[in-house]
Amino acid sequence: MVQWKDPTLTARLNIIDMNVTFLLLGLYGWEYLSSLDVEYAVIRGRLAFRWALVPYLVGRMFQFFFLLLSAIRTVPPSNNFICLPVTMVIAISGDIALGCSSMNFMIRTWVIWKDTRLVHILLVIFALGQWIVLALDVANLRPTQIPGGCKIYITHREVNAAVLVYSVCYDFLVLVLSIVALSRQRSKSPLIQRLRAQGFVYFVVAVVTYIPPTVFAFMGVNHVLAMTGITATTARYLISPNHGI
């Protein structure tokens, strides 16, 4: 059986974590910088501002900050005092990016069911529930200063797992509602087929990438959880249907 708390294994996982984080930062950084034309168009007034753009713009920014600060976290800091605030900012940025990613997916379903108030109320309830769970996830962290850096303690590991499980269930609800609404339309236009395919791919990627961190969250393996968690959130955000908003 793997001894997850073995110092040698922990040191190897830390190195892997650093390499994976910098790889994801490079991938998403390129994606973010190459698509800044959206922000530029909004600032210059070439793209009309819509409230639907808020989770897209905010989520992109916080996802970039999340990866950037996560990469900084993997390098031993020269000044230990930056450890505690950086840890909390990383957690908040990651949860905001996750919440905005789900909202981008939900907005499409909201528009498809534009004439059904009951569906809108259901989506709002689940969206508020996700933000409450994300807030509890941040409050669940306990960064503690140690020589040479800091250590993150998780008060209740079930809260971490609840965030992942809730997000997947929320996305599944949004996917089902989207499929039901699109199936009721007789049109076979390429746009409808594209929306259906994008929603299915997004959900599959979200489920597949969130299985490992959910398992490790229940096991309480913080080092592996951090590595698989950042991979899951980045993959989810890269595949999320943001560009169609």
Instruction: Tell me whether residue 4 is in a domain.
Output: no
Could you report the per-residue pLDDT of 3-43, keeping only the tens digit for each? 666 667 777 777 787 888 899 899 899 888 888 888 888 88
Residue 181 sits at φ, ψ, to 5 deg, of -65, -45
Residue 241 has pLDDT above 50, yes or no: no
pLDDT of residue 164: 79
Instruction: Tell me whether residue 245 is in a domain.
Output: no
**Confidence grade of residue 205 (pLDDT, cut at 50, 70, 90):** confident
* Number of domains into which the chain is organized: 1
The domain in which residue 137 lies consists of 10-239
Instruction: Tell me whether residue 5 is in a domain.
Output: no
CB 35 within 8 A of CB 61: no
pLDDT of residue 147: 62
CATH number at residue 39: 1.20.1070.10
In the 3-class helix/strand/coil scheme, how is 43-92 assigned residue by residue?
HHCCCCCCCCHHHHHHHHHHHHHHHHHHHHHHCCCCCHHHHHHHHHHHHH
pLDDT of residue 126: 92
Instruction: Tell me whether residue 36 is in a domain.
Output: yes
Instruction: Tell me whether residue 244 is in a domain.
Output: no
Instruction: Tell me whether residue 183 is in a domain.
Output: yes
Task: Tell whether pTM > 0.85.
Answer: no
